[in-house]
Structure 1
């Protein structure tokens, strides 16, 4: 989040040398310059911390840590931290967000932080009876679950309900639906699944199998929209209406062809993953859940779509994506770079972080589709790629 007194005309960070860029970001974020220096001095993570975080650590592998300024979501401007190695992604997010910001910014809604803990039971002789007994024991199971995560319950979260499914061949699965509040929730969900496993197997009359969370959080969906007048998409080389029509056609292409949809979604995840990684969240879980959601109809589909209005005066975009993110727990406590990222964002909840991440993904999608449908993707991308590598490669 940017400070309330920040200039509505955002600075062109790319024209500043790196030290001046840090000064400007510190000013915009209301941080001391030393906080940025301290967090990023060793790539955001020192070797001793890395050794405590993973097994057999040898050191750290740094990624560029950039920022996209002025991403406006629900009327609030954010300095969005992005950790990514690919050239042009931060620039794309910044440029597209500037276009959307001039038209009022992104609008986001976020579902409650509901996640699923799964308990699988096999060798069930009477699946229909097992499902009935488990459903009748719902009150007991919810109580047992909440006894296992009392800290979460104290924060207003916890298990809310139980559901069951027959998977065939004597295998059933029980879902415990848990409100994880501002945590991503993996450890909480696994704790719940293990606490209830034996009792669920007893009720089912079968053999206890896996007890683990699901990373497909289809009850934790983030939706973001953007509306731009077509003139906002033009430049000296391309008329706005031509760019808008090209973007809408590119969207339709992704909706009809899974080969294109995969690359379309990759462009979305460029933005989403960069925010998720910068903030110390689990980008592999986010990727898996996003692609599962893209396939929920039985065919692989784009997560974001763009349409021209009937009068061709505006371009309307929307994204729907499951996002299980946290602003407490996990790597956030240990990773100085992740803590800096959250300090730059100044978000107050996991839902707010999800809204910003999804908006950034919609921004990188818009930038990619505009480039593809006008000058071609290589013009800007390869210029930045050559700048990034020409002077850095070993001789």
Structure 2
């Protein structure tokens, strides 16, 4: 349903204090020409189960309805010799199909092998200091044991699981910003993503710093320490996983139009282009994130944090480059990804959102390290599927076939019309104007645009 909006909008005070019904009442009357139609659409996407709807209402602020994404599955992922069916929440056509096809391809060739490189996360107390650097260094040596002592209650549960604060360092950043310093702390958060844990520890560090500085018999200048902020970093270059596929070149015999040797050469060259050309690398890595984000969302993790970390990691050497790499040596084809993935399998939505709980059950309730490997494999599979299409049949053939169903849904085609149009485009690329023309032909109605040509 398309709703016309009212251009006359007015600001409102106290919106967050209104009831849900009050918010909706203001929204539909203030922003839509047809309030009842807007209200009906919002209510159409509510859960019929009041408890489930209340749960969703409490996830964020100012909830007025739910926004649904398709929840699909990609079977046949053989990862470290264990078979998985991956949950994928995504709206883009062909992503799940491409991941499934790639998984099936590598199922016969040994599957995906994953390795956890490291699991450390980092956070900072960012502060300005205007006194003597030597005095600051002396104070820091006194702060270090206090940081651990003053956070013992916060870290007790994490330490019991094998995690906690790993190290604390003073960083002098005055070469990039005047009077700027950091307390940089490294953490192990086990199966938790750990954002709240890390931030709570960092805020306690700041309290220690402030209190100690003010208690010292030093000059006013040396007491001039100003904490700017305490926050974890979503850049996690020390929380990294590697996923790889490999086989003999002659086993890449899945396309009748291209020999295994030609495929390997073209594939390697396509990856190499993404390694050296940022314009291509951006699209290349976006395709990787299609697979990764879909599993991240389905498992209730933070895809924005993963995106940010991944793209920063791709730029760590001064130029934006590919997250995947390929070699063809001694008759062996190898394709791999190394990517930072700070994931959690406890906390957050993992015990609240019914579909997130189902996704974790589908995967066999993995711990965070296992989930890292699964997610990395999903990104590698997606990239393999995209590159495989690009260097053989082209990307549009498969993508447009999936896009055809979106067009037919927009046209509200009947089952009979859908079947006829799908059959008609079996050997044709279903561009939007051609699909519309065929649809109009079946219904015996004029084509909406005079410049649309029927395909023959």
Considering the TM-score relative to the shorter chain, is it more than 0.5? yes
Aligned partner (choices 228, 232, 242) of residue 209 of structure 1: 228
- Given the alignment of the two structures, is residue 67 of structure 1 paired with residue 73 of structure 2, yes or no? yes
Distance 2:155 2:92 in 1: 40
- Given the alignment of the two structures, is residue 190 of structure 1 paired with residue 199 of structure 2, yes or no? yes
Q: By how many angstroms is 1:128 displaced?
A: 5.0
- Given the alignment of the two structures, is residue 254 of structure 1 paired with residue 274 of structure 2, yes or no? yes
Match of 1:304 in 2: 324
Distance 1:318 1:175 in 2: 31
The within-5 A match list for 1:80-159 is 80-131=86-137, 133-135=139-141, 137-159=143-165
- Given the alignment of the two structures, is residue 282 of structure 1 paired with residue 291 of structure 2, yes or no? no
Q: By how many angstroms is 1:129 displaced?
A: 4.1
- Given the alignment of the two structures, is residue 78 of structure 1 paired with residue 98 of structure 2, yes or no? no
Distance 2:162 2:74 in 1: 33
Please say which structure displays the higher CA radius of gyration.
2
Change (3 A) 1:262 1:146: farther
Q: By how many angstroms is 1:392 displaced?
A: 4.0
TM-score, normalised to structure 1's length?
A: 0.84
Change (3 A) 1:232 1:347: farther
Q: By how many angstroms is 1:42 displaced?
A: 7.9
Which runs of 5 or more structure 2 residues have no equivalent in the other structure?
A: 1-46, 214-221, 414-456
- Given the alignment of the two structures, is residue 325 of structure 1 paired with residue 325 of structure 2, yes or no? no
Structure 1, residues 137-168: CA drift from partner, whole Å, max 9, x if none? 42332332343232212222111110221111
Structure 1, residues 331-354: CA drift from partner, whole Å, max 9, x if none? 112111110100100143100001
How many residue pairs get aligned? The number is: 352
Match of 1:346 in 2: 364
Structure 1, residues 252-278: CA drift from partner, whole Å, max 9, x if none? 101111111111111111111111000
Contact 2:126 2:228 in 1 (8 A): yes
- Given the alignment of the two structures, is residue 174 of structure 1 paired with residue 183 of structure 2, yes or no? yes
Match of 1:10 in 2: none
Distance 1:347 1:85 in 2: 25
Contact 1:106 1:359 in 2 (8 A): yes
Match of 2:405 in 1: 387
Match of 1:5 in 2: none
Aligned partner (choices 368, 371, 376) of residue 389 of structure 2: 371
Match of 1:264 in 2: 284
Which 10-residue stretch deviates more, 351-360 or 162-171? 162-171
Change (3 A) 1:308 1:330: same
Contact 1:162 1:174 in 2 (8 A): yes
Contact 1:99 1:232 in 2 (8 A): no
Contact 1:73 1:107 in 2 (8 A): yes
Contact 1:142 1:161 in 2 (8 A): no
Any idea what SS the aligned residue of 1:272 has?
A: helix
Any idea what SS the aligned residue of 1:160 has?
A: strand
Which runs of 5 or more structure 1 residues have no equivalent in the other structure?
A: 1-40
Distance 1:74 1:219 in 2: 22
Aligned partner (choices 165, 171, 174) of residue 165 of structure 1: 171
RMSD: 2.1
Distance 2:260 2:70 in 1: 33
Q: By how many angstroms is 1:59 displaced?
A: 1.3
